[in-house]
Amino acid sequence: MSKETVTGIQPALFLWARTSVGLEIDAVAQMLKRQPEEIEAWERGDTAPTYTQLEKLAYQIYKRPLALFFLPEPPQEVTPQREFRTLPEADMHSLARDTYLHIRRAQAYQLSLREIFDGRSPSSRPIWQQLELVRGKSIVEQAKIIRELLKIGMEQQASWKNDDAALKVWRKAIEDAGIFVFKASFKQADISGFCLLDTEFPLIYLNNSATKTRQIFSLLHELAHLLIRVNGLSKFDFSYTNRLGKSEKELEIFCNAVAAEVLIPSDDFRRQIVSFPSDIEKAPDEFFVAIASRYGVSREAILRRFLDQKRVRREFYEKKAKFWAQQKKTTEGGGSYYLTQGAYISDRFAKEVVARHYRQQISLEQAADFLGVKPKSYAGLEERILQGVGA
């Protein structure tokens, strides 16, 4: 029975399912251990897979419910190519399957947020309703407003003991302002994160494989995307902006500048660098470490400020940034499963799920499904959520 081919599937569904995760036919064939010609035949409707092959296609490769393949036509979905305009077209078409799946998961989170919060933002005055960024207006003044709305002052920022504490506070401030922040470790390591607009539940999704300082900058960069009302998908290496069209390039430069100004306010920065040598390129690394620790950012972010001020050459900046990047650990191994899983999920969302389960408004199975764990793992994750998890 398992070797009989499945009937009643429209060929267009095979093509749609494959392209919706950015896979080429050769990649599917390799994962399924079949010949590419066989996959092509399924998509043309000449032949069909067996039920066992269909299950593997659905559950392991395309990550889709099996029943979806028996629809009369492919469902209407917003694709990354239509959703995002902040990466060059070639980069959009070369996204990894893993990145497609993260975007799909983020869209599912938005549906869960709408359900768990009864369709209304839990924030009384969401930040995007109080501020819309405008290109052409003063970046310094707009960044000041962001800091005021997030309720983060320079004295508080300078008191943070490490990068972990800095990320935790920035993340909480943004969540308190109505934007939900999720994280995951991307297999496509050059993606820093993305954001999705929504009238009630906008979210930011970060690559947890990066250092905490890089995550902080990405968090503020994606916040700028949301406040200028665009869906953003970004990379760590900003050189991709050189391949964008004029308008899109200006947008990304603007969002970078806003993130930098929020994290490193110009007026404070000027006071802190008076002790730097006049020739910044001759400054020892200790100078950059000291000032970076004040703002909870990377040495590269500080050097970038000097580049923007034209006090270092671009060649020096790129060489030094690459050298520093090689010194960093970009992943953190080990640790508790529950601590890691808890850190991935929006804290505000997770606490609401736990509260609703406690009030018996949702079942154990529903709560576990919202949090992306099996029911048997729920108790351990619930404990970490109630205790408060890492950034």
Percentage, residues of the chain above pLDDT 90? 68
pLDDT at position 331: 39
pLDDT at position 330: 42
pLDDT at position 171: 97
Q: Tens digit of pLDDT for each residue in 102-127?
A: 999 999 999 999 999 999 999 999 99
Which position has the higher pLDDT, 89 or 220?
220
Tell how far CA 213 is from the center of its chain: 14
Torsion-angle region of 174 (φ positive above 0: left; ψ -120 to 50: alpha; else: beta): alpha
Q: Phi and psi (nearest 5°) for 335?
A: 90, 165
Q: Tens digit of pLDDT for each residue in 155-213?
A: 999 999 889 999 999 999 999 999 999 999 999 999 999 999 999 999 999 999 988 99
Percentage, residues of the chain above pLDDT 70? 95
* Pairing outcome for strands 203-207 and 191-196: antiparallel
pLDDT at position 142: 98
Average pLDDT score over the chain: 90
**Cβ-count burial of 125 within 10 angstroms (0-12 exposed, 13-18 middle, 19+ buried)?**
exposed
Q: Tens digit of pLDDT for each residue in 280-292?
A: 999 988 889 989 9
Taking residues 53-61, what's their average pLDDT? 93
Which pair of tokens denotes residue 331?
A: 């992943």
Query: HSE on the CB side for 180, CA within 13 Å?
Result: 29
pLDDT at position 338: 63
Tell how far CA 238 is from the center of its chain: 16
pLDDT at 1 over 60: no
Q: For residues 77 and 13, give the distance between their C-alpha atoms in angstroms, rounded to a whole number.
A: 13
For 1-5, the CB contacts below 8 A with 24+ separation are: 1/51, 2/50, 2/51, 2/52, 3/50, 4/50, 4/51, 5/47, 5/48, 5/49, 5/50
Which position has the higher pLDDT, 129 or 390?
129
Structural domains of the chain, ranges and CATH numbers in brackets: 11-77 (1.10.260.40), 97-263 (no CATH), 333-387 (no CATH)
CB atoms within 10 A of CB 308: 15
pLDDT at 94 over 70: yes
Question: Are the C-beta atoms of residues 183 and 211 closer than 8 Å to each other?
Answer: no
pLDDT at position 372: 87
Which pair of tokens denotes residue 190?
A: 């050059």
- What's the chain's Rg over C-alpha atoms? 23
Question: Are the C-beta atoms of residues 21 and 62 closer than 8 Å to each other?
Answer: yes
Taking residues 252-265, what's their average pLDDT? 95
pLDDT at position 315: 92
- 98-109 per-residue burial string, b: 16 or more CB within 10 A, e: under 16: bbbbbbbebeeb
Q: Tens digit of pLDDT for each residue in 8-30?
A: 899 999 999 999 898 999 999 99
Question: Are the C-beta atoms of residues 316 and 283 closer than 8 Å to each other?
Answer: no
pLDDT at 279 over 60: yes
**Whole-number Cα distances in Å, 299 to 90, 168, 278, 288, 292:** 30, 19, 18, 5, 6
pLDDT at position 335: 52
The letter for the amino acid at 220 is L
The letter for the amino acid at 345 is I
For 28-35, the CB contacts below 8 A with 24+ separation are: 28/57, 28/61, 31/60, 31/61, 32/56, 32/57, 32/61
Q: Tens digit of pLDDT for each residue in 303-320?
A: 999 998 899 999 999 899
pLDDT at 2 over 60: no
pLDDT at 329 over 60: no
pLDDT at position 377: 86
- 32-60 per-residue burial string, b: 16 or more CB within 10 A, e: under 16: beeeeebbbbbbeeeebbeeebbebbbee
Q: For residues 365 and 368, give the distance between their C-alpha atoms in angstroms, rounded to a whole number.
A: 5
